[in-house]
Structure 1
Amino acid sequence: MTRPAARRVTIPYTPRYPQTEIHPMLESHRFCVLVTHRQMGKTVCAINHLLKSALTNTRPAPRYFYIAPFLKQVKLIAWDYLKRYSAPLPEVKLQESELCAQLPNGAKIWLLGADNPDALRGTYADGVVLDEYAQIKPDVFNEIVRPMLLSRQGWVLFTGTPKGQNSFFELYNQARKAAQTDPARWWCGVFPADETGIISPQELAEIRRHTPEHLFRQEYLCDFTADAEDVLISVGLAAQAAARSYAPAELAYAPKIIGVDPARFGSDRSVIFRRQGLQAFAPQVFCKTDNMTLAARVAQEIKTFHPDGVFIDAGCGGGVIDRLRQLGFEVTEINFGSAPLKAGQYANKRAEMWGEMLQWLQAGGALPAGGELRADLCGVRYDFDAAGRMKLESKEQLKARTGRSPDLADALALTFALPVQKRSGGGPAGPGRFARTEYEVL
């Protein structure tokens, strides 16, 4: 018996950026955490991901669930989307009383409220969306949803907008950590309004003028720390810096500096960061790079960028420093735990570099595009010691909390290690061509 050819059906949904980047990640990872700004279209994205997953599932009786904090919320928003995008499907059956759509292949999609989680007990799921997760009790996933996924090895999408440092913030940190160690199964995406372009710059500026700053940072810049008082660099400050740029002529007066944060293998990355005055340029990032290779990369950057100072973290960079000096380049090793120049203000050199970087941002510093750098910058907490000096949480504490080391931000911070004067005269930079700074750098 010949099986009838499958009918091609087009769902009336055309993904836009960033949905065009989100959908491939959702389809290739089992556990996804999606953090978005208001009006990005995450519910539409989630509903269409459910539809595609359900329609392409060849298992018997596939089951999918969209769960929001409250049933009333589901009825008001998600149910209309499910009806709209499933309308072209032949023989689709919509059960309004149960908020359930039965698709032509027998798959079912239920929309439920987390305010009645017991309705889910005892069933299985091929896929689950937990929307506005910040407002859903963690027990809903741990005690109810997680067991539903076991028999079918189902996937789950956690999505929402930050609402302070709550269970969604903890999940976000866990997901970032898991994505480092298990990137085939975990994915974490963050999409603030100033990067997606969905809300025009003019409209976004208007919203900001009429919204309390902490709410704007939380709702539109995806800032989990908007209400936190111990974060050194706010998301808003980093976002403003990422929106700025300077022409070469505006930077001509300023010295050029390179910061290098080496990492010998492991999960951390080696980073080379270039900065001239108020402008920081896109970093070079290398994974699992040995000292000789990294030294060669730095040497090439010196020849190309003609820096007035090169600062390298001595923690893992001893081999890189030795090799560059062997080649005749003048570089400065920086020990993050050493004494700062401003001993009464900072507890150590690392705190001083970050403090100087904060002042640079406040003075008009411009960052290159990229959410990863901004996440590094805005994830570090600070405190004060008994002497009233600023100190940062250790890299080990930060990595344990967030699952990653702020490699990009530390490399940029290294460009503030010591004062640097612009090199006098012209000519290409090379071995021994750095002018002396106002400090004797040894």
Structure 2
Amino acid sequence: MTPEEQLKQELIEDIASFTHDPLGYVLYSFDWGAGELAKFPDGPDQWQRDVLNEIGDKLKSGAISGASEAIQIAVASGHGIGKSALICWLIKWGLDTFEDTKGVVTANTDNQLRTKTWAELAKWHRLSITRDWFNCSATALASVDKAHEKTWRIDAIPWSENNTEAFAGLHNQGRRIIVVFDEASKIADPIWEVTEGALTDNDTEIIWVAFGNPTQNTGRFRECFRKFRHRWSCRQIDSRTVKITNKKQMQQWVDDYGEDSDFVKVRVRGMFPSASAKQFISVEDVDEAQKRHLRADQYDFAPKILTVDPSWSGDDPFVIGLRQGLRFRVLRSIPKNDNDIQMANLIAQLEDEHEADAVFIDAGYGTGIKSAGDTMGRAWQLVWFGEKATDHGFLNKRSEMWGGIKTWLKAGGAIEDDAELYQDLISPETVPRMDGKIQLESKPDMKARGLPSPNKGDALALSFAYPVGKRYRGIPGLNKSGLATEYDPYAG
């Protein structure tokens, strides 16, 4: 064996020793304190070391086997903490230390993926001691060995809700899979769901990391820190605790906007905002509404409004709700049903059972139900979401009704502990307009963001369509529709 071959063999053996030691690999593979890394003689920052060590410790435990035990790490941070560098180290370690490792990297946008994430990877690959082991193209880092170039690689894949096959095919039985979501806040929920469903190989090292600024307080990245926290190891990194950040700039932001402002929460503290920039109803308001438990005397004096939001598409529920003053609950949520007669009978039954003072139906898919109700002698009213708003500050009736929800929540409205209703209320965003009118994004636009139609939210919104007064029962024909000329929006 020639001296050159001996050195190559020693390098292979050294790198192999870091199979379950990502931090050791990073310290070994880069020339810290020299050349382009002259300003970093100590190598990774402490938070980066913590993440690398966590992965190594879990791998060494031998408990990783399939999606149920996959290593899933989510990091929400302020600006400038070095998350892109950590992503690159993980990718390099993953490939270098395990033969035929496969994986994908995606980001919030194609531009972010190509010009930032992948450009950073190309830099760290060039700086690494193993740069001759893999070819770095514009879309992949693949083995130079022709026999392995299809099986030993990481691919940069822009996500698309219309093309999820690349994320559905993440299988590598008995070996290693690495998945990286960069700027994860804006990666659509369906991509998370498809990825999760694909990571099912047993006896496989599965490592899924999601990094980003916490710009949105809805979506799957947010839920890593809340609903799915039992599956994700979560970190929120304050930029001021990291060596390389500009502390002077951070302090200026704190001075200008305040420590507890959403601006500072997102850009400095690594915290999710109370409300995203375009979010119409804040998480805080909905959280408080879920916590409220009202006494009957706080709402039973108010008129009862039965609302009906028919299914918008095949996977949307048919929702019937009831609001009385500050209390709202969903009475029925059933799969899409186009049998107008059957649904009309159900609505009539609930109207009588709860002695509703008014019944409002979304006209978009409810005209047949209204006609069926007419034949039964029911005075139900259609609500056209696109009609002109009474309040000139809103673009249309839909945005005006959702404005009613917002005001009602702040006035003390109470909702049940319903995860679907919760998401419905915090999901819609506003659309900027030159005239200043409030406009909500359309349902198709919400679906394009990977969100379902907010049928339960719309059921609550319908209760604010028109003024409602208590029906005078026992006097046939008097105020049969439940409509009134005087109306307290917080009571009825």
Report TM bin, short chain.
Answer: 0.5 to 0.7
**Aligned equivalents of 1:297, 1:64: Cα separation in 2:** 60
Q: Is residue 275–residue 415 contact of structure 1 (8 Å, CA) maintained in 2?
A: yes
The aligned residue for residue 452 of structure 2 is: 404
**Aligned equivalents of 1:422, 1:292: Cα separation in 2:** 27
**Structure 2 gap ranges (5+):** 1-18, 24-43, 74-85, 107-112, 122-138, 141-153, 156-165, 200-218, 231-258, 488-492
The aligned residue for residue 293 of structure 1 is: 342
Structure 1 residues 216 and 326: CA distance shift in structure 2, 3 A: farther
1:66-145 counterparts in 2 under 5 A? 72-80=49-57, 86=61, 101=62, 114-116=87-89, 117-121=91-95, 123-124=99-100, 143=140, 144=154
* Structure 2 SS opposite 1:273: strand
The aligned residue for residue 186 of structure 2 is: 170
Q: Is residue 94–residue 178 contact of structure 2 (8 Å, CA) maintained in 1?
A: no
* Structure 2 SS opposite 1:399: helix
| AA matched with 1:173 | D
Q: Is residue 124–residue 149 contact of structure 1 (8 Å, CA) maintained in 2?
A: no
Structure 1 residues 348 and 223: CA distance shift in structure 2, 3 A: farther
Q: Is residue 360–residue 463 contact of structure 2 (8 Å, CA) maintained in 1?
A: yes
**Aligned equivalents of 1:115, 1:152: Cα separation in 2:** 24
1:221-370 counterparts in 2 under 5 A? 226=274, 228-263=276-311, 266-290=314-338, 291-342=340-391, 344-370=392-418
Q: How far apart are residue 226 of structure 1 and its match? A: 3.9
Query: TM-score normalised to the size of structure 1?
Result: 0.60
Structure 1 residues 138 and 300: CA distance shift in structure 2, 3 A: farther
Look at both structures and tell me which one has the larger radius of gyration over its CA atoms.
Answer: 2
Q: Is residue 294–residue 320 contact of structure 1 (8 Å, CA) maintained in 2?
A: yes
* Structure 2 SS opposite 1:282: strand
| AA matched with 1:404 | P
Q: Over aligned residues, Cα RMSD in angstroms?
A: 5.0
Structure 1 residues 318 and 149: CA distance shift in structure 2, 3 A: same
**Aligned equivalents of 1:128, 1:65: Cα separation in 2:** 21
| AA matched with 2:444 | E
Structure 1 residues 326 and 347: CA distance shift in structure 2, 3 A: same
**Structure 1 gap ranges (5+):** 1-62, 87-100, 131-135, 161-165, 198-210
Q: How far apart are residue 230 of structure 1 and its match? A: 1.7
Structure 1 residues 227 and 378: CA distance shift in structure 2, 3 A: closer
| AA matched with 1:121 | L
Structure 1 residues 293 and 229: CA distance shift in structure 2, 3 A: same
**Aligned equivalents of 2:416, 2:275: Cα separation in 1:** 26
Q: How far apart are residue 353 of structure 1 and its match? A: 0.3
Query: TM-score normalised to the size of structure 2?
Result: 0.54
Structure 1 residues 426 and 172: CA distance shift in structure 2, 3 A: farther
Q: Is residue 64–residue 126 contact of structure 1 (8 Å, CA) maintained in 2?
A: no
Q: Is residue 357–residue 481 contact of structure 2 (8 Å, CA) maintained in 1?
A: yes
The aligned residue for residue 206 of structure 1 is: none
What number of residue pairs does the alignment pair up? 330
Structure 1 residues 249 and 124: CA distance shift in structure 2, 3 A: farther
| AA matched with 1:114 | I
Q: How far apart are residue 402 of structure 1 and its match? A: 2.6
Q: Is residue 217–residue 236 contact of structure 1 (8 Å, CA) maintained in 2?
A: no
Structure 1 residues 266 and 243: CA distance shift in structure 2, 3 A: same
Q: Is residue 100–residue 176 contact of structure 2 (8 Å, CA) maintained in 1?
A: no
